[in-house]
Structure 1
């Protein structure tokens, strides 16, 4: 009888005791061989590894008990059948097995799939080694030994997913919340989670302001507003949770959205039915929109802060995408929490920045007016990364005999204290200038009075007394950057005003400098925010001013705009205040 025709019980059949009985009178060597057979049989029966013997056509000829337990298939059901016939859920490379039969080189295989036995692992995997069996040069088949490594595989998969989650969160830290703008932050979140976590997403914020075209929400109803959406033009613009930016949605007390806002816990609707989606989406039309684009799973997460949620983010999966896992929800919660802090900071910044600018405008809203024969233009640019007001100010004062005093000053520091001090400086200079004193005496008197008041903030200041009738300008400075004369037919010129000590030090010692001021020449006065740059030496920044080539034939407003376009790029490290002066043509 050939090897491939032997019955299953003829290979390692367990008849070792009967064999020993038959050999009781045999030579000692034969009895020893029988004992060795019994030991080997015990090894096969006792090992936790699955052992199988296959013939040349890859049909099972033998399986041990471990193989039967692992598969849930009795040993006799294996006999004469292939793996595909016995365990169709198991996947292994038949081509590799035939290669082993051909060249005799043992090989290791990874076997995956499912058996008839339930398992605690999400995916089952075995590591198997196959050897070719031979007898006197004749190939009999293969012997395979396999051990299950599902636990290790799951551990490695979990570890890899943990690394991916950390990498995702690390990346989010650099891409979400990069600015102090609510709309931009929400857009960054929506664009980041698609497609890393969802196929579609929208971000909503709680809206506490009244909308002109909408009635106020009913008592107990919260109003959400869409800030950003991502995930495809086929949904954006439609009503419901995927509506375009600006859409409002009122949230009643009995909705899952309100429950999430109140409890801080996410709502998960995996492979949700229409009835389940209807509870979240509120209208059949919204459910219809979702179904049209193949959305099958939704996660709704509040954007939590320490005091209260600032909004909501909706993540959707559609088509062939898998439902959300618990790990997906954990990652989404972390992203939502980080974004909520950024949104809250942006809102706080916007509020404080608006209040600060209103205060700054109020303090600068009443500069004096020059004489009609003097043309002026001014700009105030607050530093871009803070909400505090600064101490910059400027002023124009019409004095007797057709003269105009132009003032530019900068109180040390920022914040409301600096702004209040700035107001005191400006008022004091106005009162002293009204006496008609020379510019150096104005600074001298202001320095002494301010020191006696005891202000804890000194200020730099530059005065320029313009006399159109004489065609002159008289300067005096108190630690302030020098002015610039922009000539229509010559290079720009730094005016080297004698630099006295800042106001409020009571040191005095100010000197005046008088220069001609021709028609068409623009006098530029500014604060140090225009020239301070950490990347450039202050002298180099001043030289930049002398290299300016501007068209001075247009309006003074256009000259100032062109100057800022040349010198200011992006946000500045300090406030920038400009005051330009030009004699009107006669």
Structure 2
């Protein structure tokens, strides 16, 4: 490698460093490091990471792996290099032809492993060792960030799993299915939720809610709303009074995020359902011919405003109809009018008498919910025909 032209050499080093650490993935960073090292000095390059559960091994190998020294020597050299930063120059290896350079991967006082370079020709020069040390130091900071990110992500995942809970069990006279699709690849749960609560006399409370925002903070508030709902519902109040108490409770906690909520109290004995809405989109219902329509429900303020003003709306419901309650992520699309979004849902057709699970699968597929821009929670419910078996089949 030529040492002439210091400015151009520095520019080349900066360019090489910019190609290392392009992601928060440690494996990618190691592969970028060895690729740049091999391009700078030739021969073979690999990373040996210490403390791996699967045991030490060369990773991200570029070039002929036969040029690399044995793992036993490399592990010891990596530890020695880690103890004395800057000692990573070429070391002779007994029984190994060629020249080896071992540079510790150190950041924040912690040694994550070592870069091992090897070639058959000339020994590594001091200038080459400096270049490899510079690139390895740059990579080490990204390895540190990647591991810190992974550690935080693991903690967030554990918290999300602790917050994640399935809806309660409805009465046997009601078939219910739910789906939850959080937005983002690393998210398990957000602010959207579904719930079912058994009431007296065979009635069931169906609920969907949507807390403002995303991620763990929204999930924490979602859990608070959900817990409060279960407690308030135990008093067997009508839906609009449940919302009134939820609103007053949330308004008394300034840090609680606002939320929308739709409650449906299903009464199979009377063949009716009573709704109440706190700033939520209307429910949908499918009929015996598989057609979909939206039900008019008076909309009150979102929960947490302290304004109250919720009104009930009651309609008939028979076993040929399926209720669909959902959060806005199912239908809303950026730049699209909400009436048009709801019209797409109303345009979905279903096979007559489709099981509630199939109804959900169909609506999620037709509205491409897996590519939604927001969390999606959706619940489908149908009265069970009194003459049907518990599995929904005819007697």
Alignment TM class, shorter chain as reference: 0.7 to 0.9
CA distance in 2: counterparts of 1:168 and 1:330, whole angstroms: 14
Q: Note the 1:338-417 alignment, pairs <5 A.
A: 338-365=138-165, 367-384=167-184, 390-413=190-213
Structure 2 contact 179–360 (Cα < 8 Å) conserved: no
Determine helix, strand or coil for the equivalent of 1:277: coil
For residue 510 of structure 1, report the CA deviation from its aligned partner.
1.4
Structure 1 contact 390–418 (Cα < 8 Å) conserved: yes
Residues 424-482 of structure 1: CA distance to partner in whole angstroms, max 9, x if unpaired?
A: 32222112222222211210122123324555432222212233445544332212344
Q: Is 1:277 aligned to 2:93, yes or no?
A: yes
CA distance in 2: counterparts of 1:348 and 1:397, whole angstroms: 41
Aligned residues: CA RMSD: 4.3
Q: Which residue, out of 92, 97, 107, partners 1:305?
A: 107
Residues 314-353 of structure 1: CA distance to partner in whole angstroms, max 9, x if unpaired?
A: 33446x7x76555554444444344333333333333333
CA distance in 2: counterparts of 1:314 and 1:486, whole angstroms: 65
Residues 399-440 of structure 1: CA distance to partner in whole angstroms, max 9, x if unpaired?
A: 123222122223334566654443332222112222222211
Structure 1 unaligned segments of length 5 or more: list them. 1-121, 124-153, 212-222, 242-248, 279-283
State the partner residue of 1:268.
89
CA distance in 1: counterparts of 2:112 and 2:320, whole angstroms: 55
State the partner residue of 2:245.
445
Taking structure 1 as reference, are residues 313 and 388 closer, same or farther at Cα in structure 2, changes over 3 Å only? farther
State the partner residue of 2:47.
203
Determine helix, strand or coil for the equivalent of 2:152: helix
CA distance in 1: counterparts of 2:38 and 2:175, whole angstroms: 55
State the partner residue of 2:12.
164
CA distance in 2: counterparts of 1:340 and 1:195, whole angstroms: 19
TM superposition score normalised by structure 1: 0.54
Q: Which residue, out of 52, 61, 84, partners 1:230?
A: 61
Structure 2 contact 193–210 (Cα < 8 Å) conserved: yes
CA distance in 1: counterparts of 2:268 and 2:290, whole angstroms: 21
Determine helix, strand or coil for the equivalent of 1:430: helix
Stretch deviating more after TM superposition (379-388 or 298-307): 379-388
Taking structure 1 as reference, are residues 406 and 569 closer, same or farther at Cα in structure 2, changes over 3 Å only? closer
Residues 5-53 of structure 1: CA distance to partner in whole angstroms, max 9, x if unpaired?
A: xxxxxxxxxxxxxxxxxxxxxxxxxxxxxxxxxxxxxxxxxxxxxxxxx
Residues 64-97 of structure 1: CA distance to partner in whole angstroms, max 9, x if unpaired?
A: xxxxxxxxxxxxxxxxxxxxxxxxxxxxxxxxxx
Taking structure 1 as reference, are residues 473 and 555 closer, same or farther at Cα in structure 2, changes over 3 Å only? closer
Higher relative contact order (CA closer than 8 Å, sequence separation 6+): 2
Taking structure 1 as reference, are residues 329 and 467 closer, same or farther at Cα in structure 2, changes over 3 Å only? farther
Taking structure 1 as reference, are residues 162 and 449 closer, same or farther at Cα in structure 2, changes over 3 Å only? closer
Taking structure 1 as reference, are residues 538 and 426 closer, same or farther at Cα in structure 2, changes over 3 Å only? same
Q: Which residue, out of 252, 259, 279, partners 2:80?
A: 259
Structure 2 unaligned segments of length 5 or more: list them. 389-395
CA distance in 1: counterparts of 2:203 and 2:243, whole angstroms: 18
For residue 182 of structure 1, report the CA deviation from its aligned partner.
3.7
State the partner residue of 2:391.
none
Taking structure 1 as reference, are residues 166 and 344 closer, same or farther at Cα in structure 2, changes over 3 Å only? closer
CA distance in 2: counterparts of 1:309 and 1:566, whole angstroms: 50
Taking structure 1 as reference, are residues 265 and 498 closer, same or farther at Cα in structure 2, changes over 3 Å only? farther
Aligned residue pairs, count: 384
State the partner residue of 1:556.
357
Determine helix, strand or coil for the equivalent of 1:408: strand
Determine helix, strand or coil for the equivalent of 1:264: coil
CA distance in 2: counterparts of 1:397 and 1:466, whole angstroms: 10
State the partner residue of 1:567.
368
TM superposition score normalised by structure 2: 0.75
Q: Which residue, out of 242, 260, 274, partners 1:474?
A: 274
Determine helix, strand or coil for the equivalent of 2:116: strand
Structure 1 contact 411–457 (Cα < 8 Å) conserved: yes
Taking structure 1 as reference, are residues 163 and 338 closer, same or farther at Cα in structure 2, changes over 3 Å only? closer
Structure 2 contact 359–380 (Cα < 8 Å) conserved: no
Structure 2 contact 190–218 (Cα < 8 Å) conserved: yes
Structure 1 contact 374–582 (Cα < 8 Å) conserved: yes
Greater Rg by CA: 1
Stretch deviating more after TM superposition (340-349 or 549-558): 549-558
Taking structure 1 as reference, are residues 310 and 431 closer, same or farther at Cα in structure 2, changes over 3 Å only? same
Structure 2 contact 69–93 (Cα < 8 Å) conserved: no
CA distance in 1: counterparts of 2:317 and 2:34, whole angstroms: 57
CA distance in 2: counterparts of 1:258 and 1:164, whole angstroms: 30
CA distance in 2: counterparts of 1:297 and 1:550, whole angstroms: 70
